[in-house]
């Protein structure tokens, strides 16, 4: 459940890791991915181009996202989304509770039939069970995310949450909604200790266990379909960079915070190039449009600044699979990563990482598990001196850090296979 866009390479890496893990532990098992995107979205097929190549059947969820385009956020768009959500919820209820109407609601019926015919329902890993704001919109989002658990439980299907960071949950209503829904799950597998502690606070410790993110099952692979990019990265010395087009929702002046974020990257790049001679490799880890924007927009601004400063760089815009990104991150001396899964994919290739935390506690938790807890910085207070020092330490100790990461990742992979062997039907 809860498939997202393949243009978000982190979410894609989670799905690929899960599919590969299931294929390893349960050869021949059929897999269906239900997407948060509506099949009425004109980009539905593009959103799932990589997953379908793996032989996975993809369909929309019975109650998909009410946003069916990538336009800029607006009051009118939100009103339309509420209308779409009400329609989808009513259609799902009719298809589920009134069999004579099933033929009139083919998408909802197909999604429900797939769930009804399954042996187990898995909630895809990531971080999407949260309400980080108060108000009706946040609660409607949380209801939509949790609703499939009730549907599956009503069908007597075992539900397992795999590789989640849960939260933040900013109000009591959101906490009660989450505790009630997750209490119906057979097993809750969280990917860092703060989520584990939150599950205990919600009274769910008996069914909770800690395991790594499923993207750690990704094995690096050279992007042979893009030889020019591979050869360019292989032939240089690079500081890899990923960014996030973050909205800074808690800031008094979000535009000023976003400007400071970009200024900090520019200054770090300038200092690192001057001291160590590294060039900059810019990777848009997420190119799916969210409220009309993507990470690529911000990287293009950074590229313009590097051009003006005379700092050599490459902006990688090829449509790469997670294993191909991992390979390229592996050719960088260090990755300065804001997107969590760029950090994970770099770790899969044993590359030292300096991480920028931007949402919840997922980044600091996973970096701590990698033994890199002292190389995490907050997006709201970009510590240029600290980031620069961490990059130089990582570069100077690359062999030692790479060996540490390699050992940790090997242990993570073994643990993930053990988790799947426990939770999947025989």
Give residue 388's region: left, alpha or beta (phi > 0; psi -120 to 50). Answer: alpha
Query: Helices 75-97 and 136-154: crossing angle, nearest 10°?
Result: 20
| Distance, CA of 239 to CA of 181 (rounded, Å) | 43
The answer to whether residue 162 sits within a structural domain is yes
Both 71 and 106 in a single domain?
yes
Would you put residue 380 in left (φ > 0), alpha (ψ -120 to 50) or beta? Answer: alpha
Query: What CATH number does the domain containing 96 carry?
Result: 3.40.50
Indicate if the pLDDT at residue 290 is higher than 60: no
Bond into 37 cis (ω within 30): no
- Could you tell me if 278 and 389 lie in one domain? yes
For 73-92, what is each residue's pLDDT tens digit?
677 878 888 899 999 999 99
293 — pLDDT class (breaks 50, 70, 90): low
State the alpha helices, DSSP H only, in 235-294: 254-276
Report the pLDDT value the prediction gives residue 344, as an integer from 0 to 100: 98
pLDDT band at 158 (very low <50, low <70, confident <90, very high): very high
Q: Residue 21 belongs to what domain range? A: 9-217+414-423
Find the CATH number of the domain harbouring 244. Answer: 3.40.50.2000
Q: Do 140 and 275 fall into the same domain?
A: no
Mean per-residue pLDDT, 202-206: 98
**337 and 361 inside one domain:** yes
Q: For residue range 228-274, what is the model confidence (pLDDT) as tens digits? A: 999 999 999 999 999 999 988 888 999 999 999 999 999 999 999 99
Residue 50: band (very low, low, confident or very high) from pLDDT cuts 50, 70, 90 = very high
Among all chains, which residue has been given the structure tokens 């959101």? Answer: 174
SS3 sequence, 78-122?
A: HHHHHHHHHHHHHHHHHHHHCHHHHHHCHHHHHHHHHHHCCCCEE
What pLDDT is recorded for position 75? 77
Per residue in 354-373, pLDDT (tens digit) is 999 997 678 998 999 999 99
| pLDDT confidence of residue 362 | 84
On whether residue 1 sits in a domain, the answer given is: no
The band of 132, judged by pLDDT with boundaries at 50, 70 and 90, is: confident
pLDDT digits (tens, 9 = 90+) for 322-351: 999 999 999 999 999 999 999 999 999 999
Determine how many CB atoms are found less than 10 A away from the CB of residue 238.
Answer: 24
Lowest average pLDDT, out of 110-114, 164-168, 290-294, 321-325, goes to 290-294
Length of the chain, in residues: 426
The model's confidence at residue 392, banded by pLDDT at 50, 70 and 90, is very high
- Co-location of 192 and 262 in the same domain: no
- Residue 101 β-bridge partners: none
Give one DSSP letter per residue of 382-418, joined into a string.
--HHHHHHHHHHHHHTHHHHHHHHHHHHHHHHHHHHH
Check the CA dihedral 39-45-51-54 and report its sign. positive
Structural domain includes residue 196: yes
The stretch 373-384 carries a mean pLDDT of 96
Q: What is the pTM of this model?
A: 0.95
């Amino acid at each position: 459940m809860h498939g997202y866009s393949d243009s978000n390479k982190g979410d894609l890496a989670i799905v690929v890791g899960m599919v590969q893990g299931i294929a390893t532990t349960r050869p021949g098992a059929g897999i269906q991915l239900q997407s948060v995107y509506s099949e009425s979205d004109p980009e539905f097929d593009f959103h799932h181009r990589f997953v379908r190549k793996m032989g996975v059947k993809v369909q929309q969820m019975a109650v998909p996202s009410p946003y069916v385009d990538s336009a800029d956020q607006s009051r009118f768009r939100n009103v339309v989304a509420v209308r779409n959500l009400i329609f989808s919820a009513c259609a799902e209820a009719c298809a589920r509770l009134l069999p004579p109407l099933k033929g009139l609601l083919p998408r909802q019926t197909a999604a429900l039939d797939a769930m009804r015919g399954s042996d187990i329902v898995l909630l895809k890993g990531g971080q999407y069970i949260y309400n980080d704001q108060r108000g009706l919109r946040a609660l409607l989002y949380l209801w939509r995310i949790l609703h499939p658990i009730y549907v599956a439980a009503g069908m007597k299907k075992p539900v397992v949450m795999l590789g989640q960071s849960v939260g933040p949950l900013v109000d009591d209503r959101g906490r009660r909604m989450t505790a009630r829904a997750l209490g119906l799950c057979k097993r809750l597998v969280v990917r860092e200790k703060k989520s584990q502690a939150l599950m205990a606070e919600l009274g769910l410790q008996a069914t909770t266990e800690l395991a790594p993110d499923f993207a750690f099952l990704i094995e690096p692979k050279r992007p042979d379909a893009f030889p020019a990019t591979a050869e360019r990265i292989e032939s240089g010395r690079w500081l890899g960079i990923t960014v996030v087009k973050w909205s800074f929702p808690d800031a008094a002046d979000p535009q000023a915070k976003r400007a400071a974020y970009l200024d900090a990257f520019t200054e770090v790049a300038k200092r690192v190039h001057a001291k160590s001679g590294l060039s900059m490799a810019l990777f848009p880890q997420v190119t799916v449009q969210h409220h009309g924007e993507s990470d690529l927009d911000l990287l293009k601004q950074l590229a313009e600044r590097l051009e003006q400063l005379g700092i050599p760089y490459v902006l990688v815009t090829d449509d790469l699979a997670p294993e191909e990104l991992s390979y390229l991150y592996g050719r960088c001396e260090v990755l300065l990563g804001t997107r969590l899964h760029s950090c994970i994919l770099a770790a899969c290739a044993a590359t030292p990482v300096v991480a920028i935390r931007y949402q919840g506690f997922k980044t600091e938790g996973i970096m701590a598990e990698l033994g890199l807890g002292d190389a995490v910085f907050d997006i709201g207070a970009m510590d240029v001196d600290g980031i620069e020092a961490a990059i130089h330490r990582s570069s100077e100790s690359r062999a030692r850090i790479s060996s540490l990461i390699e050992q940790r990742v090997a242990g993570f992979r073994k643990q993930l296979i053990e988790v799947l062997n426990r939770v999947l039907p025989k």
